């Protein structure tokens, strides 16, 4: 007989031990992940599943991307040619975060078009006004506990760090110094740029470039959570160690953004193999990461996901941590 109780007999004797995931992004205004078309009932179920797994922080990935926005923000509706949204996602997420006693971080608007030198100020201005509107309208929620600077920068886009600095400082100043977070990516072997022929950054080059970038945003960013999927599994630990060293130097918390989707498959993207997630969680634990946030629970780790592999990943995760 093989039943659940016997599962332990197939676990290998020296199996890795990961660190727990306590946060997730909410990817509703999305770039490349197909939508699940959930209403509040489905989101309520999903917050419940997050909570059970140990998640205490949800980060709305962005307030908008190009013409798509998460809520009817007047500052954007008036100044930009955006679509009027059917649902107030910010109010819904905050209501659910309140209910489940979680922290909610608000992600900034990404115009998708003001990233070029000379246009930065427009992106900054839009977000400055948005922050004011959002804090006035939603700031009363007890779960509103942070800001996420959503522009994903890397070496090629490091001038964007100006946006981080100005926007981050403003958000902190009007909200009683709430936490700010960024999630940049490493210029590694799995970036589109390197896959297209560019050279990946060595660990040493990575350290030098980010030392400069972080110097630019000093005082504006509290949490640095590098994405962990652009480097190979055996390379990850070395980059994480550098990230921690840099975070310490600039008085930031160092989280890891652990991707729960699989970058190695022809279908872009489905849930990651548990073995790969575990390798990354072990590397993060060993490198001293202070927390792990995943991109993202609802598509790739949730028992409610349309990708049924995600529910099995949830089960494997819960088994590993005896949840």
Q: Which position among 78, 81, 116, 322 is part of the footprint of a copy of itself (CB under 8 A)?
A: 81
Q: Which residues contact 168 (CB under 8 A, 6 or more apart)?
A: 147, 149, 180, 217, 220, 221
13 touching a copy of itself, by CB under 8 A: yes
Spell out, one character per residue from 227 to 266, where the chain touches a copy of itself: x when CB under 8 A holds, - when not: ------xx---------------------------x--xx
268 touching a copy of itself, by CB under 8 A: yes
195 touching a copy of itself, by CB under 8 A: no
Cα distance between residue 244 and residue 302, in whole Å: 29
Strands 253-259 and 223-227: parallel
Q: Which stretch binds a copy of itself (CB under 8 A): 167-175, 179-187, 246-254, 307-315?
A: 307-315
Q: Which position among 78, 86, 116, 196 is part of the footprint of a copy of itself (CB under 8 A)?
A: 86
119 touching a copy of itself, by CB under 8 A: no
Overall size of the chain counted in residues: 323
Q: Which residues contact 312 (CB under 8 A, 6 or more apart)?
A: 274
Closest CA to 93 of 159, 140, 44: 44
Residue 286: CB atoms within 10 Å:
15
Q: Which stretch binds a copy of itself (CB under 8 A): 55-63, 121-129, 133-141, 267-275?
A: 267-275
Spell out, one character per residue from 17 to 36, where the chain touches a copy of itself: x when CB under 8 A holds, - when not: ---------------xxxxx
Closest CA to 181 of 133, 123, 232, 220: 220
| Closest separation in Å from C-beta 81 to a copy of itself | 7
| Alpha carbon 132 to chain centroid, angstroms | 23
| Closest separation in Å from C-beta 106 to a copy of itself | 16
Closest CA to 89 of 129, 134, 51, 50: 134
- Please give the residue ranges that form the binding site for a copy of itself (CB under 8 A): 1-4, 6-7, 9-16, 32-42, 44, 67-68, 71-72, 81, 83-89, 91-92, 95-96, 99, 233-234, 262, 265-275, 278-279, 306-309, 312-313, 315-316, 319
């Amino acid at each position: 007989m093989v039943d659940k109780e016997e599962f332990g007999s197939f676990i290998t004797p020296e199996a890795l031990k990961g660190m727990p995931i306590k946060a997730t992004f909410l990817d509703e205004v999305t770039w490349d992940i197909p939508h699940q078309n959930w209403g509040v009932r489905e989101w309520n179920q999903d917050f419940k599943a997050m909570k059970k797994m140990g998640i205490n922080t949800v980060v709305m990935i962005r307030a908008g991307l190009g013409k798509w926005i998460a809520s009817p923000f007047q500052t954007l509706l008036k100044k930009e040619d955006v679509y009027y949204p059917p649902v107030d996602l910010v109010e819904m997420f905050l209501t659910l975060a309140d209910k489940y006693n979680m922290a909610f971080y608000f992600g900034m608007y990404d115009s998708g078009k003001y990233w070029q030198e000379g246009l930065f100020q427009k992106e900054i201005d839009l977000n400055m006004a948005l922050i004011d509107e959002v804090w006035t309208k939603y700031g009363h929620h007890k779960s509103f506990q942070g800001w996420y600077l959503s522009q994903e920068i890397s070496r090629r886009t490091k001038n964007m760090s100006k946006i981080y600095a100005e926007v981050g400082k403003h958000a902190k100043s009007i909200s009683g110094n709430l936490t700010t977070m960024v999630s940049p990516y490493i210029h590694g072997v799995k970036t589109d740029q390197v896959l297209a022929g560019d050279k990946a950054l060595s660990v040493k080059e990575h350290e030098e470039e980010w030392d400069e970038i972080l110097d630019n945003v000093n005082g504006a960013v509290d949490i640095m959570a590098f994405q962990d999927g652009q480097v190979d599994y055996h390379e990850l630990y070395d980059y994480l160690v550098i990230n921690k060293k840099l975070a310490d130097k600039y008085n930031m918390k160092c989280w890891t953004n652990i991707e729960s989707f699989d970058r190695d498959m022809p279908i872009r993207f489905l849930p990651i193999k548990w073995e790969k997630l575990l390798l990354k969680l072990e590397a993060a634990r060993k490198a001293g990461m202070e927390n792990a946030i995943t991109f993202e629970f609802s598509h790739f780790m949730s028992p409610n996901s349309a990708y049924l592999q995600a529910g099995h990943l949830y089960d494997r995760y819960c088994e590993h941590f005896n949840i």
